[in-house]
Amino acid sequence: MSEELKNRSIDPASIEMLEKAAQENIRTVFDRAEKMKPCPIGGEGSCCSICAMGPCRVPLAKGKEETPEEKTKRTGVCGATVETIAARNFVRKIAAGTASHSDHGRRVVEAFKLMAENKIKDFEVKDEQKLLNLALDLGIEIGERDNNEIALDIAKICENEFGKQEGELIFVKNAPIKRQEIWKKQGVVPRGIDREVVELMHRTHMGVDQDYKSLMLQGTRTALADGWGGSMIATELQDVMFGTPTPALSEINLGVLKEDMVNIIIHGHEPALAEMLAVLSHDPELIEYAKTKGAKGINLAGMCCTANEIMMRHGVPIAGNYLQQELAIITGAVDAMVVDVQCIMQGLQEVARCFHTKLITTDERAHITDSSFMLFDERKARESARVIIKASIDNFTNRSKNIRIPQIKTPLIAGFSHETINYLLGGLYRASYRPLNDNIINGRIRGLAGVVGCNNARTTHDSAHTLMIKELLKNDVLVLSTGCAAMAAGKAGLMLPEAAKEFCGPGLAEVCETVGIPPVLHMGACVDNSRILVAATAVVKDGGLGDDISDLPAAGAAPEWMSEKAIAIGQYFVASGVFTIFGTNWPTLGSSDFTNYLFKDMEAMYGGKWAFEPDAVKAAHLMIEHIDKKRKALGIDKARERVLYDMQMRREMEAV
Ligand code: BF8
């Protein structure tokens, strides 16, 4: 294998497909990244294109100290300083990320409402317990009312969250009291989801907010409207409607594709269509239809966050993460790639053209030139999904002979929702995080880390995720994961209980083996990062580890981030009190003042702050350093030094 390919991915299945792509002269994202170097000025946040007097480029002169006078001269035509330019660029990413998660959330609320009004026949309340808990949280009467009546009240309250003009988002009150006070003091409690995004876009228009601290204030309020608003609404209602995830065994990587079956990949983010496809892929009539075309059946597999959603709820296998979307088509065995919204590369259509693969767009918000558009209408969910599956089956006979599926896949266990963790740790009748807190306090578990986010063609595919996670595990840090990071961990075999023995330090290994959990807990899609907020709050509420998320020995990371959603997520974690470190590149380095504000000053304001470190192992150690700092502040640093695992301690653990 060439050095060049080794630099592209650590995943052997991906490398095999990159070799096939090279032989067949097919261009992928990896080739395009090689050919087009990133713009160094835009990359450091020093390019302003918000008005037609520019674009203005105000780059930092490399290799020499800048005097204050020189810095004040670095302005755009309108006089905007480099701080304002970097801050505007940064917060616009937050606006876009928040809009994406929240528009997903809005769609879920719309479907949920239609279900409650009996206008959708194909969806129903799947998790009654969660419905009732949600109703209690929202102050909705339960009494003798049926599920749909309660659901309708929930839908109306959640719907209102998007257009609300004043007050506070309802889920903000799920955060620890101390955290809510911090947000109030800083003036960043979100009022309405849409309002925060619109105001942020207004403030970043030419000639409005021109102070980086003020811009960042609204950036923070908007990010909180994502994490504790749009994303949380999406996750909560999806769980009620499609079921709260519980541990499911599945498989991941391109080897889940099957040569003798109709392969349909569902790729994107919103789970409604995927849910229907998952159900219909077992429909006897459709399977029979596939057989009439010479296939043995229908094989549904997921890609990106939709994959996480249906794997956690149905055990549907995952074909791959973000950088594998084109590679799946290059197998020659994908009869249809069905996409909805977010993280879908336009390059898919160019690759699909080299094969028989049908690229099917399904959402009126996301068209791709030359693809086949087949609208997925929630009102006729089953019917729409059936049309899509039939078209995929019809395409099976168009396959060419040039098929090669890498025989590589890894088993994994996913589905660790907050409710499941609670149950696994405490049991049905005494569900709680107590055993987790106790093991953090006694030092067997050093701390918690959320490792989340994307792949990025500017860094070796999956390498930073796996290096970072392995380093954390070795140091007894339990890892919670979502998105494409979770898939990287799954491919590396880190989502199996037996991984504890091989990869963890002795304390974490003992806890995982005793409870029977993998050392990396798959908590879902990117929108489910809200589950991590809920879990962190539950740990705080269980006691013994301070009274706020910022007190916890915990840290977050997105070592291979690329999307604007990742910045929105990072900012809501920082503002929720979490030390959050990103890899690959950092988009504000052109402004030292603004960067210092994010990397240093934020800690005094929110207890959390940003950091940037492209070396994944070094980044893991910065997280561990932070965890140790928090242990010391809690007075539990000594406990860790004393952990010796005598028989008594082992018995206690077995009683967990
Ligand atoms: O929302 S982790 S590449 S797939 S943005 Fe996209 Fe990033 Fe993957 Fe899901 Ni999240």
What's the pLDDT band for 64 if we cut at 50, 70, 90? confident
The CB of 271 under 6 Å from ligand 1? The reply is no
Measure 43 CA to ligand 1 centroid, in angstroms: 20
CB-ligand 1 contact for 483 (6 Å cutoff): yes
pLDDT at 656 over 60: no
643: pLDDT strictly greater than 70: no
82-242: CATH architecture? Up-down Bundle (1.20)
Name the closest-CA residue to atom 6, ligand 1: 343
Tens-digit pLDDT profile for residues 171-193: 999 999 999 999 999 999 999 99
Mean pLDDT of 567-583: 98
Query: Is the pLDDT confidence value at 642 over 70?
Result: no
pLDDT digits (tens, 9 = 90+) for 297-343: 999 999 999 999 999 999 999 999 999 999 999 999 999 999 999 99
Probe target for ligand 1 pocket from 269, 312, 454, with the most ligand atoms within 8 Å of CB = 454
Half-sphere exposure of 511 (CA within 13 A, CB side): 28
Report the pLDDT averaged over residues 649-654: 55
Location of structure tokens 């994303």: 231
5-9, 104-108, 155-159, 224-228: least confidently modelled range:
5-9
Arithmetic mean of pLDDT, 386-397: 98
> Residue 428 Cα, ligand 1 centroid: separation in angstroms?
33
Q: What fold does the segment set 429-634 form as a domain?
A: Rossmann fold (3.40.50)
Residue in the block written with tokens 């239609």:
114
Residues 416-445 have a mean pLDDT of: 84
User: What is the percent of the chain with per-residue pLDDT over 70, rounded to a whole number?
Assistant: 96
Q: What is the pLDDT of residue 626?
A: 98
How confident is the model over 399-428, as a mean pLDDT? Answer: 89
- Predicted confidence at residue 638, as pLDDT, reads 85
DSSP bridge partners of 612: 582
What is the per-residue pLDDT across 165-174, written as a single tens digit (0 to 9) for each?
999 999 999 9
CATH 3.40.190.10 fits 248-398, yes or no: no
- Residue 647's pLDDT band (boundaries 50, 70, 90)? low
Task: List, by residue range, all CATH 3.40.50.2030 domains of the chain.
Answer: 248-398, 429-634
Point out the ligand 1 atom lying closest to the alpha carbon of residue 305: 9
User: Would the pLDDT of 386 be above 70?
Assistant: yes
Torsion angle defined by CA atoms of residues 456, 461, 466 and 467, in that order, rounded to the nearest 10 degrees: -90
Residues 6 or more apart whose Cβ sits within 8 Å of residue 1: 15, 19
| HSE-CB of 173 using CA atoms within 13 angstroms | 8
For the Cβ of 565 lying below 6 angstroms from any atom of ligand 1, the answer is: yes
- Residue 55 identity: P
Instruction: Give the pLDDT score at 648.
Output: 59
Nearest residue by C-alpha to atom 10 in ligand 1: 526
pLDDT at 155 over 50: yes
How do residues 469-502 score in pLDDT, each as one tens digit? 999 999 999 999 999 999 999 999 999 999 999 9
Ligand 1 in contact with 234 (CB < 6 A)? Answer: no
Taking the alpha carbons at both ends of the chain, their separation in whole angstroms is: 48
Query: Is the CB of residue 526 below 6 angstroms from any atom belonging to ligand 1?
Result: yes
Residue 459 reports pLDDT greater than 70:
yes
Confidence label for 75 from pLDDT (cuts 50, 70 and 90): very high
pLDDT value, residue 644: 55
Domain with CATH 1.20.1270.30 in the chain: 82-242
Q: How far apart are CA 356 and CA 106, in angstroms?
A: 35
Q: Is the CB of 453 under 6 A from ligand 1?
A: yes
Q: Residue by residue, what is the 3-state secondary structure of 55-81?
A: CEECCCCCCCCCCHHHHHHCECCCCCE
At 471 the pLDDT is 98
Q: Per-residue pLDDT for 654 more than 70?
A: no
Q: Give CA–CA dist 389/386, Å, rounded.
A: 5
- pTM value is 0.96
